Amino acid sequence: MGFGVVITSGDDLAAMPEDILRWLVEARVELELSEPARFALRFEDDLCEGEPRVQGADEIAANRKIGLFVPEGDELVCLVLGPVTEIKSSSTTGGAGSWVEVHGESRLVEMDRVGVQATYTGLASAAAASILQAYGFTADCQDTLIEYDEQRTQLSQRGTDLAFLQEIARRNNMELWIEYEVRRVPVTGAIQLGETARLRTSPERAQQLGAPAPPVLRAPVDRLLRVNPPRGQCPSVTKFEVDIDYEKPTAAEGFTIGEDGAQKVITQALPVPDPLALTQPVQVEGVERSAIAPPAVTDQEAFLAQDALVTEQSWFVEVRASASLEQAGFVPLPHRIVQVSHAGPKLSGTYQVTEATFVVTATDALVDFRLRANGLGGSG
């Protein structure tokens, strides 16, 4: 634990042996909203009785499950658990100066290895839950809106399970990610881990037919980032860079002038063109040909398209921040909601973490992360 990160190896989450960890130089984890988490471990290496000490060790073999955990108060937070997918190494004459890099991803990558062809009925969320459970995850899927059948509206899969679930998430304006629940066994201290795969809107919001609304960020009580606090208080970040895109459209408003000269305010002033007449294709002798009709759009599909536009356009504040884990006081994981204070009246408020890169060495545990918000002005 002196390195600032707990590393396990194997399905039983056994601690990485000390005679391997003593060669560790850096541990790195990259997290994004809807992508498999990626990790890398860099080791020094040397010869021991004529053989490399780290390269070739069973604890870092291909497809071996590696877990990385960092402390948060008195608890442990799992950053990633997944198989080793790539090993890089460099050997020098005499052994001194050799190194080994172990790369891997979260267990979502296990769903991206085999192409599948299948057709599902019912809700896409139910199909997603059945696939996630087949891989041993606890599935937490928000109900989707469209009901699929075997005739008119089909839900077909022609690709890997991961690609299929990511497509379901994209079509329904949701995200796909894994959350971990870490438990320590009393006395022994062994780690037990629960893996919940979530297919949900993030931030959480109801998807009800009608007028879509921007996401609402609810301020947490236990995750506070202090940017420039008063004397006597420690800041939570070493960097806080903000981009505000005022050109992102969130509403359209205009006015028309009637015959009497009076102005009438309207919320949308876009001309609606007449639909083009469906013309017939050029006929070819001996061949029956007809024009392809444009696809019909259901109320659910129209709502999801509007919801995607409103949600995406609402995020017009982006922040790039840096901190040490000790300085931040909590682990800034993607999807988490955080409160920012002492950043001025406009920039203080509630944000969502979208990306995080953790770099842990023998002396530091650092994190670079990104935040987003869909409003300006908050407390602090």
Count how many residues are written for the chain: 380
Write the Ramachandran bin of 50: left for phi over 0, alpha for psi from -120 to 50, otherwise beta: left
The count of other CB atoms within 10 Å of the CB of residue 198 is 21
Helix (H) or strand (E) holding 312: helix 299-314
The residue ranking higher by pLDDT, 346 or 261, is: 346
CATH number for the domain whose boundaries are 111-200: 3.55.50
Q: What are phi and psi of 82, to 5 degrees?
A: -175, 175
Cα separation, 352 vs 336, whole angstroms: 6
What's the pLDDT tens digit per position in 345-364? Answer: 899 999 999 999 999 999 99
Is residue 177's pLDDT more than 90? yes
Give pLDDT, residue 61: 94
Would you state the pLDDT for residue 60?
A: 94
For residue 338, give the DSSP letter: E
Query: What are the backbone dihedrals phi and psi of residue 300, each rounded to the nearest 5 degrees, phi first?
Result: -65, -45
Return the closest-CA partner of residue 339 out of 329, 327, 352: 352
Contact 263, 257 (CB under 8 A): yes
The C-alpha atoms of residue 153 and residue 322 are separated, in whole angstroms, by 47
Q: Is the pLDDT of residue 95 over 80?
A: no
Return mean pLDDT, the chain: 87
Token representation of residue 30: 């990259």
Residue 133 vs residue 259, higher pLDDT: 133
Chain centroid to Cα 27, Å, comes to 20
Cβ(133)–Cβ(68) below 8 Å: no
DSSP states along 68-94: EEEEETTEEEEEEEEEEEEEEEE--TT
Structure tokens given for 199: 């297919």
What six digits make up the tokens of 225? 């980032």
Q: What is the pLDDT of residue 354?
A: 97
Segment among 95-104, 267-276, 300-309, 369-378 with least mean pLDDT: 267-276
Both tokens of 198, joined, read 């979530």
Say how far apart CA 234 and CA 326 lie, in whole Å.
Answer: 11
Partners of 196 in the beta sheet? 138, 179
pLDDT in tens, 186-238: 888 899 999 999 999 999 988 877 777 788 888 787 899 999 999 888 999 99
**Contact in structure between 128 and 168 (CB atoms under 8 Å):** yes
Encoded amino acid at 353, one letter: V
Picking from 110, 160, 103, 161, the residue whose alpha carbon sits closest to that of residue 131 is: 161
CB atoms closer than 10 angstroms to residue 271: 4
Which pLDDT score is estimated for 202?
Answer: 94
The beta strands (E) that lie in 138-238 are given as: 138-141, 147-148, 155-160, 175-184, 191-200, 224-226
For 192, residues 6+ apart whose C-beta sits below 8 A from its C-beta are 13, 182, 183, 184, 185
Higher per-residue pLDDT: 197 or 305:
197
Q: Report the percent of the chain where pLDDT is more than 90.
A: 61
